[in-house]
Amino acid sequence: MAKTLTKEQRPLPATHEEKLAELRTHMAEIQKQENPHSQLISILHKAQSLYGYLPNQIMDEVAQTMGVPTAHIWGVATFYHYFKLTPPGRYEIALCLGTACYVKGATQILQAVKDELKIDFGGVTEDGVFSLSPARCLGACGLAPVAMIGDKIHGELTTKKVVQILKDYRKQAEKDK
Ligand code: FES
């Protein structure tokens, strides 16, 4: 299993105020540009990179700052599947379904993950530890089939191996509580 940082090594998460300040700076820069409303996607992208998803409160903030109705922001956020409206799991699993991985048994890996975690694509486990999404190609075709968990690539997966990896992550999450 990929090495995980200890509590001491892990950088402290930015506070809500710090994230909000960064988002406001980003919006202020965009407002100086021509036609700032055409940049809503960039703002939502920034918000999601800061928060991991788009909290309601932040959508309201964007609407207010940019002077557009909240319903419009929701419309943009729900149109693009890329945007997440609920918090992701602590470990986000991106399971590759690209050609190389598909040929090497990605569908069996997917089934093993679904059976183990009892979630489908777009889902989050009840304990909030894992969320699952599909990926097209993670750029590690030589290691197919591949999944990215958090920021680590796990390759040459078998159904047995992936279940063990998930158990290891769950143990780590327990330890970190
Ligand atoms: S197809 Fe899966 S990593 Fe490229």
Atom number in ligand 1 closest to CA 138: 3
Average pLDDT over residues 82-87: 86
**Per-residue pLDDT reduced to its tens digit, 9-51:** 445 457 888 999 999 999 999 999 888 888 899 999 999 999 9
> Does any ligand 1 atom lie closer than 6 A to the CB of residue 100?
yes
pLDDT at 5 over 60: no
**Per-residue pLDDT reduced to its tens digit, 151-173:** 899 999 999 999 999 999 999 99
pLDDT at 1 over 60: no
- The answer to whether the Cα torsion of 113, 136, 153, 9 is positive or negative is negative
**What tokens were used for 129?**
């530890």
Average pLDDT over residues 70-83: 89
> Does any ligand 1 atom lie closer than 6 A to the CB of residue 148?
no
Greater confidence (80 vs 177) lies with: 80
> Does any ligand 1 atom lie closer than 6 A to the CB of residue 20?
no
Q: Which position has the token pair 């509580």?
A: 177
Distance CA 121, CA 113 (A): 10
Atom number in ligand 1 closest to CA 140: 3
Domain extents for the chain? 16-79, 91-176
Beta bridge partners of 124: 131
- Give the pLDDT band of residue 130 (cuts 50, 70, 90): very high
- DSSP β-ladder status, 152-154 and 91-96: unpaired
Collapsing DSSP states into helix, strand and coil, what is residue 170?
helix
Give the DSSP letter string of 5-41: --TTTSPPPPPHHHHHHHHHHHHHHHHTSSSGGGGHH
Average pLDDT over residues 108-118: 97
pLDDT at 3 over 70: no
- Give the pLDDT band of residue 7 (cuts 50, 70, 90): very low
Are the CB atoms for 62 and 40 separated by under 8 Å? yes
Please, which residues have CB within 8 angstroms of residue 43's CB and are 6 or more apart in sequence?
Answer: 23, 26, 27, 30, 62, 66
**What tokens were used for 54?**
């788009």
- Give the pLDDT band of residue 6 (cuts 50, 70, 90): very low
> Does any ligand 1 atom lie closer than 6 A to the CB of residue 96?
yes
Q: In CATH, which of 3.20.20.140, 3.20.20.70, 3.40.50.300, 3.40.30.10 is domain 91-176? A: 3.40.30.10
Per-residue pLDDT at 27: 95
pLDDT at 139 over 80: yes
Per-residue pLDDT at 34: 86
Mean pLDDT of the chain: 90
